[in-house]
Structure 1
Amino acid sequence: MTLEILTSDLLSPIRHGFFSRRGGASSGIFAGLNCGVGSSDQSQAVALNRRRVAEAMDVEPDALIGVHQVHSPVVVTVEGPIEGEKPKADAIVTATPGLALTILTADCQPVLFADSHAKVIGAAHAGWRGARDGVLEATLDAMEALGAQRGNTTAVIGPSISQRAYEVGPEFLDDFIADSHENTRFFANGQGDRVHFDLPGFGLHKLRLAGVGQAEWTRHCTYSDPDRFYSYRRATHAQEADYGRLISAIRL
């Protein structure tokens, strides 16, 4: 099966892709294109999957640049392949051609950034904690340090868990209201005291508030489409031992 790569016209002509799980070598609960080195999947299968992604992005496998994601607002700037241990961070930026910046997700937001005029790109992992703590704004700051202008920058949120599938408790809502009462707009009533959180809506709000030129969500829900996407929450509900990781990539 060939790889399925979702793209956005807003990021054109910058090469990029939100890869679905289709077309990979993994099997079992990881069936498809699992690119999570940290998963319990067979390492040979993950390596083959990553080679297929590198080929699709027209780079060598060591030019797939990723970080040790920890749900933080930390951004790293890279000029070449990362040697040794990956830095703990949740976003990457570069102005160096030939590097494919990558983010791994399984419900959280993969966000790809580009200022095609300044030739600066970025990639961010934005779960609820990272988005709330400023990883998207920090990515734009780091891109500006390389010569980008946020008014010329496009940001696209890839496949993420949608509001209808993201049920949380009242304490989650309370934490967001403590930051700003306006955050109530990103919650809808559920059963009993449960509420549903609009993670992509919150991400778009943060991006637009930060002054990004254009922003959109591809409107793909990871939880609701098991044939195409991995989902941490779906795997948890199914009491599966582990879950695959989707990869998103962008390169100059």
Structure 2
Amino acid sequence: MASTAGIITPEWELPAGVQARLTTRAGGISQAPYDGFNLATHVGDNRTSVLANRRSLLRQLVGVRSVQWLTQVHSNWVVQAYGGAVVPVADAATTEQRGLACAVLTADCLPVLFCRDDGRQVAAAHAGWRGLADGILLHTLQQFPDPKRVLVYLAPCIGPSAFEVGPEVKAAFGWASGDCFIAGAGDRWLGNLQRLAAEQLLASGVRSISANTDCTVMNSERYFSYRRDGDSGRQASLIWIES
């Protein structure tokens, strides 16, 4: 895993001409509690600072002419990225266009990147537990011709030691194996978002899944975390076909 100025290059074998990056909170000009490389315009940060951070990000992404941002609402909606000024309401985007990065913003939810093994199509999805239970990853996978030819990357999210949930969350994943939830105190459970995602994707035909298991809650210097801090910035996970 390489990291330059707060931007991580995932340890993920991709086809030639496809790139992926993960941002962290390092760098940027946002002030507390959004310090420093916040990329979200909806969290209360100064919009001028966020747009400056986004311009800085774009300058560092080789082969990218624009980024498809989304208005994320914990849905299972997937859109075709087009890179226009309008920001669509959705929790995943896919594209076959060169130079157009699909991006999702997170601060504990699970970002998932997808790539066809011939490098001709990519996608990014935002999976909180609601979206995951409602099939956001499966809907994204359905945008590809053959799930067996899709490479998947699970980016950093809230880890199983920090993701304490109630019985209603566990009940939403009745299909999950016992490894996805560990009993906690009382009626509480410790959930594993990455394991839930992996089980769902493998059952749908995906054969190749890579992951960065960093916990956003436990790594305060590197990652934004809503559960840890409340008011918080957002990091981005991006994937694109080089122009």
- Give the TM-score normalised by structure 1: 0.88
By how many angstroms is 1:104 displaced? 0.3
Q: Secondary structure in 1 aligned to 2:172?
A: helix
Q: Which amino acid counterpart does residue 193 of structure 1 have in structure 2?
A: D
Q: Does 1:158 align with 2:155?
A: yes
Q: Deviations over 1:113-163 (max 9, x none)?
A: 11141510000001111111111111111132xxxx321211101010011
Are the counterparts in 1 of residues 102 and 123 from structure 2 also a CA contact under 8 Å? Answer: yes
Aligned to 1:187: 181
Aligned to 2:135: 134
Are the counterparts in 2 of residues 77 and 142 from structure 1 also a CA contact under 8 Å? Answer: no
Are the counterparts in 2 of residues 111 and 156 from structure 1 also a CA contact under 8 Å? Answer: yes
Q: Secondary structure in 1 aligned to 2:94?
A: strand
Q: Which amino acid counterpart does residue 91 of structure 1 have in structure 2?
A: A
Are the counterparts in 1 of residues 7 and 21 from structure 2 also a CA contact under 8 Å? Answer: no
Aligned to 2:25: 21
Aligned to 1:173: 170
Are the counterparts in 2 of residues 204 and 217 from structure 1 also a CA contact under 8 Å? Answer: no
Aligned to 2:45: 41
Q: Which amino acid counterpart does residue 243 of structure 1 have in structure 2?
A: S
In structure 1, the gaps of 5 or more residues are: 237-241
Q: Does 1:247 align with 2:236?
A: yes
Q: Which amino acid counterpart does residue 251 of structure 1 have in structure 2?
A: W
Match of 2:191 among 189, 197, 200: 197
Match of 1:65 among 31, 46, 68: 68
Q: Which amino acid counterpart does residue 26 of structure 1 have in structure 2?
A: S
Aligned to 1:82: 84
By how many angstroms is 1:3 displaced? 2.7
Q: Secondary structure in 1 aligned to 2:161?
A: helix
Q: Does 1:10 align with 2:13?
A: yes
Q: Deviations over 1:154-184 (max 9, x none)?
A: 110101001100011223223333xx3x444
Q: Which amino acid counterpart does residue 84 of structure 2 have in structure 1?
A: I
Are the counterparts in 2 of residues 11 and 156 from structure 1 also a CA contact under 8 Å? Answer: no
- Give the TM-score normalised by structure 2: 0.91
Aligned to 2:209: 215
Q: Which amino acid counterpart does residue 88 of structure 1 have in structure 2?
A: V
Aligned to 2:104: 103
Between the two proteins, the alignment pairs up a number of residues equal to 236
Are the counterparts in 1 of residues 217 and 227 from structure 2 also a CA contact under 8 Å? Answer: yes
Alignment identity in percent?
34
Tell me the C-alpha RMSD between the 2 structures. Answer: 1.6
After superposing the two structures, state which structure 1 stretch, 1-10 or 92-101, moved more: 1-10
